[in-house]
Structure 1
Amino acid sequence: MNRTKLLRQLLPGFIPLFVFIAADEIWGTKIGLFVAVGVGILEMLWIAIREKRFEKFVLFDTLLLVVLGAVSVWLDNDIFFKLKPGLIELILIAVLGVSAFSSFNIIGLMGQRYMKDVQLNDAQMAQMQTSMKYLFYIFTAHTVLVFYSTFYMSKEAWAFISGGLFYIIFGVYFLFEMYRQRRIKKQLSQEEWVPLVDEQGKVTGQAPRSQVHNGSKLLHPVVHLHVLNNNGSILLQKRPVNKSIQPGKWDTAVGGHISAGETLEQALKKEAFEEIGLKDFTAQLRKVYKWESEVEAELVYMFISHDFKKVAMNRNSNSLKKMESSNNYSEEVDQLNFWTKNQVQKNIGKGIFTPNFEYEFNLLKENGSL
């Protein structure tokens, strides 16, 4: 659900109020009240017939219109009626505030109820909360103006602030959102996109790479490849110090994302060649598991290979004998080196290896690969 749909759900509830403002100017308060209530009833019937649902917000707005209108007529003082737009907006501010600034997203729950065919992922929910924060501030500012105009401005000024200004503000907001969304769309179109999956590996959608690394914990698939030699030693790569995640630590020989539209096999071959120059190799899948860190959540497909003689040395490495001539070198790998099982065990927990590798090292021992 996008921002436009969110606002379209909220705006119908204000129609009886805006009808009253117009009718009041033409026929007076009493007739305007009857006209507005009639419009509210017709609106609820229209929604019930067309959309097969009961619109509670329109009902609430119409009933509040009746109560405050009756009090205003009875006391012959329109101050009570003029407070109505501000009172409604106070309720909306409370709903928006809870939805935008807490984990209990009331608006999101409403959207899921009325738009059951639309599923929102974590990134979209985060965008929705950002939108609701904007709306919260807009409603708050407008409500302050409504209350001020009620007590200190003319009836004409109050009518404009409660009605026309409301639409002008949202018109400007919509234009702002359209511009902002186009900019975001343009930026995201230039990024690599990755599939989103459930814990069984079923693809549920896709997202740009930046969004899966921003703490949203969108589950996405990755491939890891462990290369073992005849002595049971394991090939590790040292991550460059300029990496944002686990810089300077020793890690799995090959690790990378599966791109959108890419198969598991294609991703494994691509990453193995890009990072360690390995091609025309065989590999066996040993484990599929979910790995979660502070910035991301991954569904890891862990492979092993014994084709160690086909590895091409990284240009920056001085710790691994060159096994095959190659002009392809990875800029993502600082060094490559074989570590014995005992060497790894002695250094686990000392901050030398990435936590993910230490976890996989134990998996390799458990399934007899080491």
Structure 2
Amino acid sequence: MLDDKKSEMYKSGARKGLDNQAIGLLPLLLFMFLDNYFSYLLSFVIGITFCFVCIFLYMFLSKDRIYIFMLLPAAITLVLYSLFLCLKIEPVLLKYSPLITEVLLVTTLTIIGLFRGYIHQRIRHAHMNSFRRTSIRTQLNEFFFVAQIVQNTYTLHLFFVLMYGVITFESHNPGPGIFIVRELNLIIGLLIIGYEHIRLSMMQGSLKKELWLPVLDNKNRVIGCIAQSVSRTARKKYFHPIVRIALLYDGMLYLEKRDSNEYESPDLLDYPFYKYVLFRHTLEDTVKEIETESGFSNNNAPRYLIKYVYENEKVKHLVSLYVLCVRSEEELEQLIQKSGKEGKLWTVKQIEDNLNKGIFSGYFEKEFPYLQNTILLAEQYCVQK
């Protein structure tokens, strides 16, 4: 169940990680557009002023720390263009300013692309918390993705202009040439921005369906959050909290098969009740969610037992283990029916005979010695009021 805090987190995460980097092309598109109606000098002044105003707003006034990295190559392109103003090539600038701008942009993006690995390495080793580092790296990945599209598209456009110029060298009809040189580049830029907007909207829609998990440090403190699907692509890199509830009845443990699509210990026997602690949720919130989903009795709440770290080659989890003691067969049947799976009660002896045989989940095999040695204590927890 999503609460207001989680919805806010979704929006914030989408803004920080997936903002439209193609918007950084707007200063260049503005310059190219104005160059059709005003002098190239006035158009340049307006374009470069708009560019640096955008950089200031994003870098210093944005509370969400959104970085439109495409503004950097746009600014470099305009600065390089200013060098042409010092040369006595006014006829060339009057006629070919848009093409010169495209050539400078493609050259700038090509050079920046050569330093992609170095930039990622610097961010990876920067002194900042992992949440901010992940956010910046996500935005950088978006930038390089958009930069490659812009570079390839405008390179094709320049090649097309060159071929058109060769083919129509002796033509006296300037109409199509004006469109190709001065208008097609604007359309290309707007199409790239529109494409990115649609693509990111689709990605944000899928992110709303994601489970967002808190990331813990070695002192079990929350230092950020990450989507569950992203976390699973980097084995054991992120440390997450989970809640597990052991189900006891008459000195026996009720176990059933985990789903086959479980990331950890699929198709192995385990408790029916376990859940990730979601970002900005507490242990108590998670236990309440399990109670609501599983139909626990109001007068029989799970009791907290221990907290431990479960780690293998795939995951690293901070496990909070609870126990739920059922006193009647009717209540046990209700819980089993609610889970919708087939399982059975296991005695201590049966479990001992089947340990380390690939039958039980890794979590359970680590917890069982503790439960075995404190089973009476767990029973005492159940009768406490």
TM-score, normalization by structure 2: 0.60
What is the RMSD of the two structures over their aligned residues, measured on CA atoms? 5.3
User: Structure 1 residue 123: deviation in Å?
Assistant: 8.6
Aligned to 1:353: 360
Aligned to 1:139: 151
**SS of residue in 2 equivalent to 1:303:** strand
Matched, 1:62 2:78: yes
**SS of residue in 2 equivalent to 1:61:** helix
AA paired with 2:102?
P
Aligned to 2:109: 92
User: Structure 1 residue 162: deviation in Å?
Assistant: 5.8
AA paired with 1:283?
R
User: Structure 1 residue 64: deviation in Å?
Assistant: 2.0
Q: Contact 1:250/1:352 (CA < 8 Å) preserved in 2?
A: yes
Aligned to 2:22: 7
Q: Distance in 1 between matches of 2:261 and 2:79?
A: 62
User: Structure 1 residue 276: deviation in Å?
Assistant: 9.2
2:345 aligned residue (334, 337, 342): 337
Aligned length: 333
**SS of residue in 2 equivalent to 1:255:** strand
Aligned to 1:303: 322
Q: Contact 1:194/1:220 (CA < 8 Å) preserved in 2?
A: no
Aligned to 1:129: 141
Give unmatched runs, 5+ long, in structure 1: 313-321
Q: Distance in 2 between matches of 1:52 and 1:255?
A: 42
AA paired with 1:136?
Q
Q: Contact 2:308/2:318 (CA < 8 Å) preserved in 1?
A: yes
1:206-244 alpha-carbon deviations (Å, 9 max, x no partner): 86x76666669776542112345786x654332255757
Output aligned runs, 1:1-370, within 5 Å: 1=16, 5-12=20-27, 21-22=35-36, 32=40, 34-35=41-42, 38-39=45-46, 42-43=49-50, 57=73, 60-68=76-84, 73=89, 82=99, 84-93=101-110, 95=112, 104-105=119-120, 129=141, 132-133=144-145, 135-150=147-162, 152-153=164-165, 160-161=179-180, 164-184=183-203, 191=209, 196-199=214-217, 200=220, 202=222, 204=224, 221-227=241-247, 234-241=253-260, 246-258=265-277, 263-271=282-290, 280-289=300-309, 294=314, 298-305=317-324, 307-309=325-327, 324-326=332-334, 329-331=337-339, 333-340=341-348, 343-344=351-352, 347-348=355-356, 350-361=357-368, 364=370, 369=374
1:162/1:249 CA distance change after superposition, 3 Å: farther
1:127/1:245 CA distance change after superposition, 3 Å: farther
Q: Contact 2:17/2:135 (CA < 8 Å) preserved in 1?
A: no
1:4-36 alpha-carbon deviations (Å, 9 max, x no partner): 5523345435655665x537xx76xxxx4x546
1:338/1:98 CA distance change after superposition, 3 Å: farther
Q: Contact 1:146/1:161 (CA < 8 Å) preserved in 2?
A: no
Give unmatched runs, 5+ long, in structure 2: 1-15, 61-70, 169-173, 376-385
Q: Distance in 1 between matches of 2:323 and 2:359?
A: 22
AA paired with 1:140?
N
User: Structure 1 residue 172: deviation in Å?
Assistant: 2.9
1:47-67 alpha-carbon deviations (Å, 9 max, x no partner): 6887787x8646532342244
**SS of residue in 1 equivalent to 2:306:** strand
User: Structure 1 residue 287: deviation in Å?
Assistant: 0.5
Q: Distance in 1 between matches of 2:134 and 2:157?
A: 35
AA paired with 1:22?
N
Q: Distance in 2 between matches of 1:289 and 1:67?
A: 60
1:45/1:147 CA distance change after superposition, 3 Å: same
Q: Contact 1:287/1:303 (CA < 8 Å) preserved in 2?
A: no
Q: Distance in 1 between matches of 2:48 and 2:200?
A: 36
1:167/1:40 CA distance change after superposition, 3 Å: closer
Q: Distance in 1 between matches of 2:200 and 2:92?
A: 49
1:170/1:266 CA distance change after superposition, 3 Å: same
TM-score, normalization by structure 1: 0.62
Aligned to 2:10: none
Tell me the percent identity.
Answer: 16
Q: Contact 2:268/2:359 (CA < 8 Å) preserved in 1?
A: yes
**SS of residue in 2 equivalent to 1:225:** strand
1:182/1:147 CA distance change after superposition, 3 Å: closer
1:257/1:149 CA distance change after superposition, 3 Å: same
User: Structure 1 residue 281: deviation in Å?
Assistant: 3.7
